Structure 1
Amino acid sequence: MSAAGAPAMVDPPVVIQGGMGVGISGWRLARAVARTGQLGVVSGVALDVLLARRLQHGDDDGHIRRALAHFPVPAVAQRVLDRYFMPDGIPDDQPFRPVPRIGLRNRRHQEELAVVANFVEVFLAKEGHDGPVGVNYLEKMQLATPAAMYGAMLAGVDYVLMGAGLPTEIPQLLDTLSVHAPARLSVTVHGAAPGETHHVALDPPDLLGEVPGVLRRPRLLAIVSSATLAIYLARDPATRPEGFVLEGPVAGGHSARPRGPLTLNADGEPVYGPRDRLDLEKVAKLGLPFWLAGGQTGPERLAEARAAGAAGVQVGTAFALCRESGLDPVLRLRMLRDAAHDALVVRNDARASPTGFPFKLVHLSGTVADADVYADRPRNCDLGYLRTPYRRANGAVGYRCPAEPVDQYVRKGGSVEETTGSHCLCNGLVATIGLGQRRPDGYTEPQLVTLGQDLAFLTQLTRPGDDYSAADVVAYLLGEVRC
């Protein structure tokens, strides 16, 4: 056992499939990759709302109900089913039933839903094969982490990947949850008084009423953007992960801010310089396996990574555009056609994300990257995964998001400037997999799409009018001949 409690990594995967977006890296994609022997990864973001909406759609293929039947405490799974399942499917003109927003003090049914949803996604990804499966979480979403992670562990997840922050407390959290002990995770509260601490807690025995035997602890891979961060995490056994994913700025989704003063190019994108380059030699000296991410799609990139000491590469965009991706199929094929004509534009928007970090947006008409669609969308924050906890004047904790109505955000102590250009990633990303909310007035949430900025691989991976699978991506990366 390693210092953090996970088994030593004997034969690490060469290819890691990125844990992308909300539902893009769903169980079908992760299972397809894992079946090749490489690491398939499900996105752990917002799985509670995805499960609730899929059940309201009627679960036509029965996959969710089959997974629920394997949940170790049937009564908990049944309560989730009773609350959200609609056998005949929700009418087209009816809004989805809301899912409670996460907070410091979550209600029991919210915790149950989060645990069950993560169990279901990982269970389905692992079903029918013995390949490795991981789950990807955002450190920024601290409020959601304990319940989500526990659900994935109940399903036997092999790896946990975490970025968008430093997962310093995650090794201990994994150790604690593996024995079903009460766990807590620190939560950053903006404006907290000196010495004031906040945390979110999960008590598995209290939540489930009964617990199975000791769980196998998954390995933790920390997603970082510099050698400095890797060194910081590796220096202490309490914070040391089992490996690292080193992510460059062209990768999809969020990017680290450039070091030094922020400079924008003519398209409004952050400019990265020499200080942002990854020092692979320093990371290699840590003695932990690492993978390179961001613009790594190709056998020559994999060879270069391994020559530099990496175990392999993490690839996202190529998998996001494959057949097993959770992307709306019409939208996915549209992007493949645009890319074939060199007309697919991906920009790293410095203001789009409520987190304040640069975020890649695919510029497609009809999506919220379209200025007219963005202007017409009513500002709404009813999912709230990226809300920031803040200290109110009376000492209580409130929640705010730059993508919520401007007057509400300002009333909560935010500035008007922070709201300019801010997109509701939560609703937009959920809409991108076909589960967008339908408002009572008939308004339907528009889609929001993110990809990496390196699309050169498509000329090698696809042929004119061709579609491709997750297995094709793995074969291409490993230099194998496609059938």
Structure 2
Amino acid sequence: MNTKLKHLQIGDLTARLPIIQGGMGVGVSLSKLAGAVAKEGGVGIISTAQIGYDEEGFEKDQAGCNRLAIRKHIQKAKEIACGNGLIGVNIMVALKHYEEHVKEAVAAGADVIISGAGLPMKLPALVSETCRTKIAPIVSSKRALQIILKRWAHRYDRTADFIVIEGPKAGGHLGFSTEELVDINSLNYDEEIKNIIECKKEYEKQYNKKIPVIIAGGIFDSSDIAHALKLGADGVQIASRFVATEECDASDAYKQAYIHAKEEDIQIIQSPVGMPGRALRNEFIKNIERERQPIKKCYNCLAQCNPGTVPYCITQALINAVKGDVENGLIFCGSNVGRIHQMTTVHNLMEELTDFSSLNEN
């Protein structure tokens, strides 16, 4: 097997390594982690979900603090990257202030915007094709991609700059039913990936441009990367492995929860976002299984959230976890979290992920 990583070309933007660090909120992937990944030649992604949670005044003005933090963290990440790699943001469609986040990221000079947790139907209207920022939807099925690209072409005469395919082994919010996630092996997801890649070719021809495909979900090591490339991907997105790095923006307790997690600790839960999610089972999850957790304050995060009916406040749960209260917070994770056993650095992890020597010997 002769595997060699090529650079990732997204329009006129280039990353030396085709590795995107997945966006993780609240506060797990901010400027420190994203900047370190870009410095190594990859694509560092900042999650804008309640990104201003630790800004002064957040309790009174979440929207304002989030806008401020988007600008601040993009700038800081670019400073850390020292001109290497690319810096982007992950913006959930489900956010109440989705459009504000997109516009702020563009104004701050984000290289890429990746958008999921819903279908980003209006994204092209918010990001001019003439600006530097490239846009990508996150999809989990051929049908979702068809809907998005058809709408973008019809309404905006535009297509995606790249596509992120997020499979059922990913962490956080997932574009699958709970039943599908319980029996992942029945999905034959490699075939779905091939169908999605085939689907985008129509739009490559229509717009005379290359649309790179990034595979995400369950990518753990170089053998997984090699498999993704063999399926026809141009790169991969990896999130969970970057949590157990010194540069990750989460608390040490959060990172240790990953390091000590076992496969049996992983659970599929229902999120107030309206999608299933993969997380670590802890006291918080046990409590929401027993009874609804009363919401004392609304943090204005989700467009479709009714504080009087949702089972818990996702903002408070995620903030608790990222700050270190790992038993009383929500810890999203990927399906391979049980294989993470030690702390590392972004530099060492990127070297490990790009070492194909053992594969090439076989």
Which category of TM-score, normalised to the shorter sequence, fits these structures?
0.7 to 0.9
Task: After TM superposition, give the deviation of residue 275 of structure 1 in Å.
Answer: 7.6
Describe the superposition over 1:78-105 as per-residue Cα deviations: whole angstroms up to 9, x where unpaired.
Answer: xxxxxx4xxxxxxxxxxxx623366xxx
Q: 1:355 to 1:377 in 2, by over 3 A?
A: closer
Task: After TM superposition, give the deviation of residue 154 of structure 1 in Å.
Answer: 2.7
Helix, strand or coil at the partner of 1:175: coil
Structure 2 partner of 1:184: none
- Tell me if 1:453 matches 2:342: no
- Tell me if 1:424 matches 2:342: no
Describe the superposition over 1:163-184 as per-residue Cα deviations: whole angstroms up to 9, x where unpaired.
Answer: 01111211121119x7xxxxxx
Describe the superposition over 1:111-147 as per-residue Cα deviations: whole angstroms up to 9, x where unpaired.
Answer: xx44322100111111141121010010111x31222
- Tell me if 1:249 matches 2:189: no
- Tell me if 1:41 matches 2:2: no
Structure 1 partner of 2:323: 434
Structure 1 partner of 2:197: 284
- Tell me if 1:21 matches 2:20: no
Structure 1 partner of 2:90: 136
Helix, strand or coil at the partner of 2:172: coil
Q: Is the 8 A contact 1:24 1:433 kept in 2?
A: yes
> 1:102-251 alignment to 2 at 5 Å?
110=64, 113-128=65-80, 129-130=82-83, 131-141=85-95, 143-175=96-128, 216-235=131-150, 236-237=152-153, 238=156, 240-251=159-170
Q: Is the 8 A contact 1:50 1:435 kept in 2?
A: no
Q: 1:434 to 1:158 in 2, by over 3 A?
A: same
- Tell me if 1:369 matches 2:285: yes
Describe the superposition over 1:238-261 as per-residue Cα deviations: whole angstroms up to 9, x where unpaired.
Answer: 252111110011211011133xxx
- Tell me if 1:384 matches 2:300: yes
Q: Is the 8 A contact 1:114 1:151 kept in 2?
A: no
One-letter code aligned to 1:359: G
Distance of 2:330 and 2:101 partners within structure 1: 24
- Tell me if 1:308 matches 2:209: no
Task: After TM superposition, give the deviation of residue 263 of structure 1 in Å.
Answer: 3.8
Q: Is the 8 A contact 1:250 1:295 kept in 2?
A: yes
Structure 2 partner of 1:474: 350
Q: 1:330 to 1:122 in 2, by over 3 A?
A: same
One-letter code aligned to 1:140: A
One-letter code aligned to 2:89: V
Structure 2: gaps spanning 5 or more residues: 1-9, 205-210, 358-362
Structure 2 partner of 1:358: 276
Q: Is the 8 A contact 2:268 2:279 kept in 1?
A: yes
- Pairwise CA RMSD of aligned residues? 3.0
Helix, strand or coil at the partner of 1:134: strand
Deviates more, 1:38-47 or 1:423-432: 423-432
One-letter code aligned to 1:167: P
Q: 1:162 to 1:434 in 2, by over 3 A?
A: same
Task: After TM superposition, give the deviation of residue 372 of structure 1 in Å.
Answer: 8.0
Distance of 1:329 and 1:373 partners within structure 2: 27
TM-score of the aligned structures, taking structure 1 as reference length: 0.62
Helix, strand or coil at the partner of 2:333: coil
Distance of 1:447 and 1:100 partners within structure 2: 22
Describe the superposition over 1:258-298 as per-residue Cα deviations: whole angstroms up to 9, x where unpaired.
Answer: 3xxx648xxxx644543866523333332421111111111
Q: Is the 8 A contact 1:226 1:276 kept in 2?
A: no
Structure 2 partner of 1:415: none
Choose between structure 1 and 2: higher helix proportion: 2
Task: After TM superposition, give the deviation of residue 362 of structure 1 in Å.
Answer: 0.6
- 2:246 aligned to 323, 329, 353, which one? 323
TM-score of the aligned structures, taking structure 2 as reference length: 0.81
The higher radius of gyration belongs to: 1
Q: Is the 8 A contact 1:270 1:358 kept in 2?
A: no
Q: 1:335 to 1:229 in 2, by over 3 A?
A: closer
Task: After TM superposition, give the deviation of residue 477 of structure 1 in Å.
Answer: 1.3
Q: 1:117 to 1:296 in 2, by over 3 A?
A: same
Distance of 1:275 and 1:343 partners within structure 2: 21
Which structure has more relative contact order (CA 8 Å, sep 6+)? It is: 2
Structure 2 partner of 1:293: 216
Structure 2 partner of 1:413: none
Q: 1:457 to 1:379 in 2, by over 3 A?
A: same
Q: 1:331 to 1:20 in 2, by over 3 A?
A: closer
Q: 1:119 to 1:344 in 2, by over 3 A?
A: farther
Distance of 1:257 and 1:240 partners within structure 2: 24
Distance of 2:232 and 2:190 partners within structure 1: 16
